């Protein structure tokens, strides 16, 4: 965790924030204090943040602050990812893959790292240089670029990359803006890839070949504007920031990965400053295991018409969350590599949203 980001973004206690949002009579939460960790150093690898109001502690582990409402539960559920050495020998990694089998946390972790490691950093891998234009890595960043190039003005203030995954869009944002960029996510292995890109000059990820066979890729990556970037563990549905903290935000391909997408849209509106811009891309790929059907934005069935107007439903939800639509791209391809012989291309909907300032005061 970078001290620059901690000081400038002044995260607050997610528990106190939730209380204040529920009962607006409560005082606005104060920024968390660094209780343990070298405050003189720019980078805190291990430490503890404390809420002076309710006394809750929020650990910093492997350089990642855990800023979720129940950090103890989060750490209990994700401890194995924090404990895995970053430089696990490849033979041991492959042994673990075979020993732990194809349906557990290890295989899921490797598949995520393979798919997002490839899309986020494959363009820097000489091994991918022969990809034809349609199948080259980098599609998430291309979705961002389509929208970013059309912003009337560069955003003022810090930028939030929500559901940043392996972090490449955060670096792309830093190249476009002067301010700080923060990537947040709940996936520890992907955040560790993002931190590796930030701090080591290379990204090492398992690229899936076929079945359970992976080949380790070691990809050079120089984070040109890396000093502006940091990565934290935080929930898009309860971002630990006071109102209007960010001048812009991106939420790429993640709204349909949430348990409560409408709540997330409202939360993102809350942390966006008046005059700010939100870039979102949505593949509408709802899964019941992640999002209860009642929360799906389109596609839940039951309508009389043959085709759901998913785009209209998303506009309605965004408007209800306090946004207005600035611009849209209805068909932006987003391609994810599954293995050497398979990929999936989503037809995503990209939007630029702005706070609807006529609603000021009506939105919490
Ligand atoms: C489909 S991936 C997209 C990653 C990246 N934005 C991209 O476009 O390549 C969705 C990301 O959202 C993250 N995510 C899911 N639920 C989240 C939540 N509640 N808060 C923050 N991130 C979340 C996942 O861990 C994952 O990294
Ligand atoms: Zn608190």
Render pLDDT for 90-120 as a digit per residue (tens, 0 to 9).
Answer: 999 999 999 998 789 999 999 999 999 999 9
Give the pLDDT of residue 306.
60
Give the pLDDT of residue 305.
62
Distance 364 CA to ligand 2 centre (A): 19
The residue nearest atom 11 of ligand 1, judged by CA position, is: 163
The residue nearest atom 15 of ligand 1, judged by CA position, is: 257
Site to probe by mutation for ligand 1, drawn from 111, 143, 146, 163 as the one with most ligand atoms within 8 Å of Cβ, is 163
Angle, alpha carbons 170-273-168 (nearest 5°): 5
Give the pLDDT of residue 6.
97
Distance 295 CA to ligand 2 centre (A): 29
Q: Which of 24, 72, 26, 64 is nearest to 45 (CA)?
A: 64
The structure's pTM equals: 0.96
Distance 162 CA to ligand 1 centre (A): 7
Tokens of residue 193, six digits: 């890839």
Give the pLDDT of residue 225.
93
Q: Quick one: which atom of ligand 1 is closest to the CA of 237? A: 19
**H/E element, 160:** strand 159-162
Tokens of residue 257, six digits: 């990965």
The residue nearest atom 25 of ligand 1, judged by CA position, is: 187
Domain boundary assignment for the chain:
1-73, 84-359
Q: Quick one: which atom of ligand 1 is closest to the CA of 143? A: 8
Distance 251 CA to ligand 1 centre (A): 8
Give the pLDDT of residue 103.
83
Domain 84-359 coded CATH 3.20.20.450: no
Give the pLDDT of residue 361.
53
Pocket of ligand 1 (CB under 6 A): 116, 119, 140, 163-165, 184-187, 190, 235-237, 252-254, 257-258
Averaged pLDDT, groups of 10, the chain, 364 residues long = 97 96 86 86 94 96 97 97 91 93 91 98 91 86 94 89 98 95 98 97 96 95 94 98 97 96 96 96 94 89 72 95 97 96 97 87 50
Give the pLDDT of residue 304.
57
Give the pLDDT of residue 23.
85
Give the pLDDT of residue 134.
73
- Of the CA atoms within 13 Å of residue 152, those in its CB half-sphere come to 7
Distance 85 CA to ligand 1 centre (A): 23
Angle, alpha carbons 33-173-190 (nearest 5°): 65
């Amino acid at each position: 965790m970078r001290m620059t980001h901690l000081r400038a973004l002044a995260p607050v206690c997610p528990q106190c924030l939730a209380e204040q949002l529920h009962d607006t009579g409560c005082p606005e939460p104060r920024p968390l204090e660094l209780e343990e960790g070298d405050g003189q150093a720019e980078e805190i690898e291990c430490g503890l943040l404390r809420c002076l109001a309710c006394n809750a502690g929020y650990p910093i582990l492997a350089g990642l602050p855990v800023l979720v409402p129940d950090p103890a539960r989060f750490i209990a559920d994700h401890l194995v990812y924090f404990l895995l050495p970053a430089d696990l020998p490849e033979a041991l990694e492959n042994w673990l893959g075979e020993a732990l089998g194809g349906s557990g946390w290890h295989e899921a972790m490797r598949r995520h790292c393979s798919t997002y490691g490839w899309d986020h950093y494959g363009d820097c891998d000489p091994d991918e240089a022969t990809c034809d234009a349609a199948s080259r890595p980098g599609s998430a960043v291309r979705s961002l670029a389509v929208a970013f190039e059309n912003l009337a003005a560069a955003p003022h203030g810090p930028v939030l990359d929500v559901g940043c995954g392996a972090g490449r869009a955060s670096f792309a944002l830093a190249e476009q803006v002067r301010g700080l960029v923060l990537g947040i996510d709940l996936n520890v292995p992907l955040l560790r890839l993002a931190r590796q890109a930030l701090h080591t000059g290379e990204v090492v990820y398992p690229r899936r070949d076929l079945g359970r066979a992976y080949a380790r890729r070691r990809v050079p990556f120089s984070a040109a504007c890396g000093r502006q970037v940091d990565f934290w563990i935080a929930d898009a549905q309860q971002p630990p920031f006071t109102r209007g903290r960010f001048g812009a935000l991106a939420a790429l391909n993640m709204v349909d990965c949430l348990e409560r997408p409408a709540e997330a849209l409202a939360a993102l509106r809350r942390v966006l400053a008046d005059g700010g811009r939100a870039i979102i891309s949505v593949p509408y790929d709802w899964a019941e295991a992640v999002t209860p059907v009642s929360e799906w934005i389109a596609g839940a069935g039951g309508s009389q018409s043959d085709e759901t107007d998913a785009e209209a439903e998303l506009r309605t939800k965004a408007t209800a969350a306090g946004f207005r639509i600035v611009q849209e791209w209805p068909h932006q391809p987003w391609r994810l590599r599954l293995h050497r012989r398979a990929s999936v291309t989503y037809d995503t909907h990209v939007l630029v949203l702005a706070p609807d300032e006529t609603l000021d005061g009506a939105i919490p």
